[in-house]
Amino acid sequence: MKAIGKTVKRVDGFEKALGYSQYTPDIYIKGMLYAEVVYPDAAHGILKSINIEDAMKVPGVVKIATYKDVPNNRMGIVTKDMQLLVPAGGKVRFEADPIALVAAESPQAAKEAAKKVKFEIEKLKPVLSIDEALKNEVIVNGERNDAFHKKIRRGNIEEAFKNSDLIIEMDFETGYQEQAYLETQGVLAIWDGTYMTIYGSMQCPYYVQNDVAEVLNLPLNRVTVIQMETGGAFGGKEDVPSYVAAKAALLSYLTRRPVKLIYKRDEDMRETSKRHPSKSYYKVGFTKDGKITAVEIKAYLDMGAYSTLSPIVMFRTLTHAAGAYAVDNVKVDVWGVYTNRVPCGAFRGFGSPQVLFAMESVMDEAAKRLGIDPYEIRYKNAIEVGKAISTGQVLKSSVGATKTLEYVKEMSNYEELKKEVEEFNKKNRFKKRGLGWSHTIYGVSLGAAGQHLDGAAANLQVKSDGTATVMIGNTEMGQGAKTTMALIVAEVLGIPIERITVLQPNTSVLQDSGPTVASRTTVYSGNALRLAAEKIRDNIIAFIKENGWAQNVEIDYGVWKLDGKEVPIEEIVQKANNANVKLVEVQWYKTRPLRYDQETGAGEAYVAYTFSTQLSLVEVDLLTGKPQALKVWVSHDIGKVINLDGAIGQVHGGVVQGMGYAIMEEIKHSEDGKMLVTNFNNYVVPTIRDIPDIEVKFVEEEFEGGPFGAKGLGEPSLMSSPPSIANAVSNAVGIRFNKLPVTPEDILLKTC
């Protein structure tokens, strides 16, 4: 490989490091108005009335919008179960359900006016837990709180449990996790009387385009969305920017002036989506030598007040609930449940960390009861070529599961490490160390539930000076996608990556390329870009041969070899351009249809799978209860490493973010449904002092459908971490924790 897998500088690194990059809050346009959102003071109630008279008297206020001003007030990605603004007589379903919007000449005027909007709410009893919601005594939304259900039915569960030597039955619970992106949600909307243009921090520009057009009753060709540099997303900027953009777009539509809406941190945390809290019930059968015989699971996800992306999240919960193991007898039920809390949606891992924590805890418990090493029980059940996952999909290639296990065992010098931990624990009374394994699976793509969106476009232009410009339909939000795309072009055409510019997505230029989620950017946009680069390469080679310039053409990094003679790429491109050779291509890539039965949950759930193994060493202070991760060994089968430094960075970030979910991050609510954690001063996230030593090794079992064999890494890098860290804490103190996060208070309550 000339470029793929090499260590390179990020193509967007220089501008970001020096502060040159333009983010949404950096934009200032003459005549721009500032927006503010008015929120209710109740988690559940009926909005009886709303009065804006006093608020409109605030100097500088231009417009205050209520439900009466919205052309189409129904919203929702999957189900239209929410409104942009709560109407009078309608339900307030959580504490940050917007009821009015203010546009003013200054942020101060907008804020003052928002405080003066008067409203009356008839308060209703809020539903604040999954257990309470399942009673269906107080209905939050629709006809039932347990509104969505998905299932898998395979094999003969009853017979398999009868023939099991060991049955593990355990309950699990997980809490919220906030995406904690550094840049809050924000957009700028500009309506010129004919066209609406949206600039914003987002990861799915086409979602925003569709939703803004629907809210304003505009055709799609009159709404253009341009993604600005985005300061982190982690799933939190998938569907949420649609609701943010619709607010600013409505105000701009009504005032015919540019409107900027930038959320403050407390607004962002109270209104925008989180990782779903969950409750799950596991029953897993084993033979005496540790082979899984049957898996029966009931899992409940707290959707919050609106379903947003929950039905799609539930599909991944369903298909990942039995873990990364070969199992023939499966019964899984997943429910999405409405409560009067913040709506939950996309978060790195997308519904799978909750159940992978549960399954990996079961594996540890089974190993303990059977007297088998936690590594061995995972290795015995690992997926190999020719074996089927929980949906019955038989994997025929690109399966590096056992290699990831072997690599981690080797890297950590596991047998010696166990002895060192045992010796440490003998010598220390108040500090204990533990080891925790995890072995996880991740389905690449949107899968059978979202394959109608699994396509992507790429535009590539090679300029006459040998530089290149790229635009893809997926987004860069910090994960390194721009560098990965530049490396693909560099590999095919030999253009050095510092001569390749990757532009921000623009919905008016490229076809809807689906959301930037599910670790799909490298596979879908990467393949589309590879096809475009190959077309241009073939055009140039044909020109060279037809004109007798050379018959033997080899491409190297920065130069082409024509009959053995090195010629700079810029010289070749200059001649091709002057001869009117086509040097621009737009290509589209999609994967084949998946055969999946939605009724039984059996069949092909995803186009490919990554596999991950992690071993974590933690130390627990028994006097304070504080757990600390000391070292992590982790291996990921990602098909092919395209951007080496980027891949290592993804793993480091994922390990740390997953560690936060496992032992730190917690959101609590008051008895009346108010979120008590609304800022980084009381929401605890890992800092640089908490980061463990991380050792990474990749397995490259190439995927024939990926660019150069790549499969993706963004989400898997987090998913291995929570169960591994949690298992290590349980191992250190000798007590099984079945709830995330495992806080110092939890540890002290169980050990004192």
- CATH number of the structural domain spanning residue 254: 3.90.1170.50
Token couple for 498: 């510092």
pLDDT in tens, 320-362: 999 999 999 999 999 999 999 999 999 999 999 999 999 999 9
What letter would DSSP give residue 678?
A: -
- List the beta bridge partners of residue 676: none
What tokens appear for 716 in the block? Answer: 């898997």
Q: Is pLDDT above 90 for 137? A: yes
Do both 580 and 707 map to the same domain?
Answer: no
Mean pLDDT of the chain: 97
For residue 752, name the pLDDT band (cuts at 50, 70, 90).
confident
Element (H, E) at 148: strand 146-154
The model's pTM: 0.97
Structure tokens at 75: 């919203």
Q: Are both 439 and 466 inside the same structural domain? A: no
pLDDT digits (tens, 9 = 90+) for 69-100: 999 999 999 999 999 999 999 999 999 999 99
For 674-732, the pLDDT digits (tens) are 999 999 999 999 999 999 999 999 999 999 999 999 999 999 999 999 999 999 999 99
Rounded percentage of the chain residues whose pLDDT exceeds 90: 98
Q: Looking at this protein, which amino acid is placed at residue 104?
A: A
The verdict on 534 and 584 lying in the same domain is yes
Does an H or E element contain 746, and which? helix 744-751
DSSP track, 557-601: SSEEEETTEEEEHHHHHHHHHHTT---EEEEEEEPPPP-EETTTT
Regarding whether 557 and 664 lie in a shared domain, the answer is: no
CA dist., res. 677 & res. 680, Å (int): 8
Q: Is residue 566 one of the residues assigned to a domain? A: yes
pLDDT (tens digit, 9 = 90+) per residue, 588-646?
999 999 999 999 999 999 999 999 999 999 999 999 999 999 999 999 999 999 999 99
Q: Which candidate, 360, 432, 421, places its Cα nearest to that of 626? A: 432
Q: For residues 630 and 539, state if they share a domain.
A: no
3 near 533, Cβ under 8 Å?
no
Q: Helices H, strands E: what count in the chain?
A: 20, 31
How many of the other CB atoms lie within 10 Å of CB of 286?
25
CA distance 475 to 503: 10
Same domain, yes or no: 357 and 488: no
What is 282-298 written as a DSSP string? EEEEE-TTS-EEEEEEE
Tell whether 110 is covered by a domain: yes
478 and 624 both lie in a single domain: no
Query: Does any domain span residue 111?
Result: yes
Residue with tokens 């009335």: 49
Helices (H), 34-97: 53-56
Question: Do the beta carbons of residue 237 and residue 477 sit within 8 Å?
Answer: yes
Kindly report the number of other CB atoms within 10 A of residue 139's CB atom: 14
User: Which H/E stretch holds residue 484?
Assistant: helix 481-493
User: CA dihedral in degrees (221, 223, 228, 230; nearest 10)?
Assistant: -100
Other residues' Cβ atoms within 10 Å of the Cβ of residue 112: 18
Shared domain for 238 and 289, answered yes or no, is no
DSSP annotation of 548 reads T
Final residue belonging to a domain, choices 590, 605, 628 = 590
The residue from 527, 558, 590 where one domain ends is: 590
Mean pLDDT computed over 385-414: 97
Instruction: Give CA 641 to chain center in angstroms.
Output: 20
Residues in contact with 263: Cβ distance below 8 Å, sequence separation at least 6, in sequence order: 184, 185, 186, 244, 271, 272
The count of domains in the chain is: 3
| 293 is a domain residue | yes
| pLDDT over threshold 90, residue 41 | no
Please, are residues 368 and 730 in contact by the beta-carbon 8 Å criterion? no
Which helix (H) or strand (E) segment holds residue 536: the answer is helix 521-546
Q: Identity (one letter) of the amino acid at 151?
A: K
What integer pLDDT is reported at residue 674 of this predicted model?
96
- Cβ 396 vs Cβ 386: under 8 Å: yes
Query: Residue 691: what residue type?
Result: I
**Domain final residue, candidates 571, 590, 609:** 590
User: What is the rounded average pLDDT of the residues 47-52?
Assistant: 98
Question: What is the pLDDT averaged over residues 239-266?
Answer: 98
503 shares a domain with 534:
yes
Q: What are phi and psi of 719, to 5 degrees?
A: -65, -30
Residue 297 in any domain: the answer is yes
What's the CA gap between 734 and 730, in Å, rounded?
A: 6
Task: State whether 196 and 317 are in the same domain.
Answer: no
Q: Of 478, 443, 440, 441, give the one whose Cα is nearest residue 725.
A: 440
Backbone angles phi, psi at 377, to 5 degrees: -65, -30
Identify whether residues 320 and 245 lie together within a single domain: no
- Both tokens of residue 444? 């690449």
Asked if 441 contacts 324 with a C-beta cutoff of 8 angstroms, the reply is yes
Give the whole-angstrom CA distance, residue 582 versus residue 533.
12
The CA-based dihedral angle spanning residues 79, 85, 88, 92, taken in that order and rounded to the nearest 10 degrees:
70
Return the pLDDT at 518.
Answer: 87
Peptide bond into 741 cis (omega under 30): yes
Residue 137 lies in a domain: no
Strands 196-200 and 223-227: parallel
CA angle 57, 58, 64 (to 5 degrees): 75
CATH number for the domain that contains residue 300: 3.30.365.10
Q: Which two tokens stand for residue 559?
A: 């130069």
> Residue 498: pLDDT band by 50, 70, 90 thresholds?
very high
Half-sphere exposure of 691 (CA within 13 A, CB side): 13
Distances in whole angstroms, Cα of residue 572 to Cα of each of 539, 544, 579, 582, 586:
12, 9, 11, 13, 21
In a domain, 495, yes or no: yes
**Do 334 and 435 fall within a single domain?**
yes
Banded pLDDT at 561 (limits 50, 70, 90) = very high
Closest CA to 484 of 649, 640, 642: 642
- Does residue 65 belong to any structural domain of this protein? yes
* Residues of the domain holding 470: 13-20+455-590
> What torsion do the CA atoms of 209, 251, 240, 337 make, to the nearest 10 degrees?
-110
